[in-house]
C-alpha cells in the first residue's frame, strides 16, 4: 500500500470529522445551474461561519468502481489511484456534505454515480451470506444536503435523481438535513434568475452548518 492509501486508511478508521462542509457538483456543464446551486448552498453555510470547499467532478480524472474488492481488506480504495483518491481526504475530514446534480435520463449523472460508487470502500463487510455490513462513517454525526434540478415538471419526471443520492448517503451514516428538487429549468445558468429557489438553497446551507455545529 502506498503512502496515500496508508494515510487514507488511517483517516477512515480513526479520525473524527471536523465541523466543515464538502460540496460536490455532478454536472458536466460548466457554469450551469447545478454549479450555481452548489455555490449558493455553501454561501449559506459560510453565513454561519462554517468553512467549506467544493469540487466539480467533471474536472477530476477518475474511474467508477471496478469491483476488485481490495477495499474489503484495506478499508479504502487501493485498487485504483486516480483523482478520486484525492477526494477521500476532504470527504472523510468533513462532517457536512452537499451534493448538487442535474437529472440525466431519470437519474443522477454518470459523474455523480461514479463518485458514489467509489464510496463503497467505506463499508465493512462480514463473511456471511448475504453479507452483513456496517459503515466506517456511522455514528459520526455526519449531515448532508442534496440538491437536484431538471427541466421536467415534477418528481416523477425527475426519476431516481434524489433517491440515488439520498439512499447511499443514509446507508453510509449521513442524516439528510435538507432535500431540494427544482423543476422547469434547463438553460445554462437560468436558475440565477429565480431568487426563490436560490433562497431555498442558501437556507439549506445555513441549516446544514447549524446542524453540524450543534452536534458533538
Task: Specify whether the CB–CB gap between 103 and 28 falls below 8 A.
Answer: no
* Residue of 1 and 176 predicted with greater confidence: 176
The three-state secondary structure class of 23 is strand
Rounded to an integer, the average pLDDT of 166-195 is 96
Residue 110 buriedness (CB in 10 A; 0-12 / 13-18 / 19+)? middle
* Residue of 35 and 9 predicted with greater confidence: 35
Q: Which residue do the cell numbers 458533538 mark?
A: 216
pLDDT band at 188 (very low <50, low <70, confident <90, very high): very high
The CA distances from residue 172 to 123, 142, 156, in Å, are 7, 9, 26
What ranges make up the beta strands (E) of 60-142?
Answer: 94-102, 123-125, 133-135
- DSSP 8-state code for residue 107: B
* Residue-wise pLDDT tens digits, 120-177: 999 988 887 777 889 999 999 999 999 999 999 989 999 999 999 999 999 999 999 9
Residue 24 has pLDDT above 70, yes or no: yes
- Strand bridging mode 143-149 / 175-182: parallel
pLDDT of the residue at 14:
63
Rounded to an integer, the average pLDDT of 17-38 is 97
Please give the model's pTM, rounded to 2 decimal places: 0.94
DSSP string, 163-185: HHHHHHHHHHT-EEEEEEEE-S-
pLDDT of the residue at 126:
82
Share of the chain above pLDDT 70, in %: 93
pLDDT of the residue at 131:
76
pLDDT band at 1 (very low <50, low <70, confident <90, very high): low
- Strand bridging mode 123-125 / 52-56: unpaired
Name the grid cell of 59: 474536472
* Residue-wise pLDDT tens digits, 77-96: 999 999 999 999 999 999 99
Domain 3-210 has CATH 3.40.50.360: yes
Amino acid at each position: 500500500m502506498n503512502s496515500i492509501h496508508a494515510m487514507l486508511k488511517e483517516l477512515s478508521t480513526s479520525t473524527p470529522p471536523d465541523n466543515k462542509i464538502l460540496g460536490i457538483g455532478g454536472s458536466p456543464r460548466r457554469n450551469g445551474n447545478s454549479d450555481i446551486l452548489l455555490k449558493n448552498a455553501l454561501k449559506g453555510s459560510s453565513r454561519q461561519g462554517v468553512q467549506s470547499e467544493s469540487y466539480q467532478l467533471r474536472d477530476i480524472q477518475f474511474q467508477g468502481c471496478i469491483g476488485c474488492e481490495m477495499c474489503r481488506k484495506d478499508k479504502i480504495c487501493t485498487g485504483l489511484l486516480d483523482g478520486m483518491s484525492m477526494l477521500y481526504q476532504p470527504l472523510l475530514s468533513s462532517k457536512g456534505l452537499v451534493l448538487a446534480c442535474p437529472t440525466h435520463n431519470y437519474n443522477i449523472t454518470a459523474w455523480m454515480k461514479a463518485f458514489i460508487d467509489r464510496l463503497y470502500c467505506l463499508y465493512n463487510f462480514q463473511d456471511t451470506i448475504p453479507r452483513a455490513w456496517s459503515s466506517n462513517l456511522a455514528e459520526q454525526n455526519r449531515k448532508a444536503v442534496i440538491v437536484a434540478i431538471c427541466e421536467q415538471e415534477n418528481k416523477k419526471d425527475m426519476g431516481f435523481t434524489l433517491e440515488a443520492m439520498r439512499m447511499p448517503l443514509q446507508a453510509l451514516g449521513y442524516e439528510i438535513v435538507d432535500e431540494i428538487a427544482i423543476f422547469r429549468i434547463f438553460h445554462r445558468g437560468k436558475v440565477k434568475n429565480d431568487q426563490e429557489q436560490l433562497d431555498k438553497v442558501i437556507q439549506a446551507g445555513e441549516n446544514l452548518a447549524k446542524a453540524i455545529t450543534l452536534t458533538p
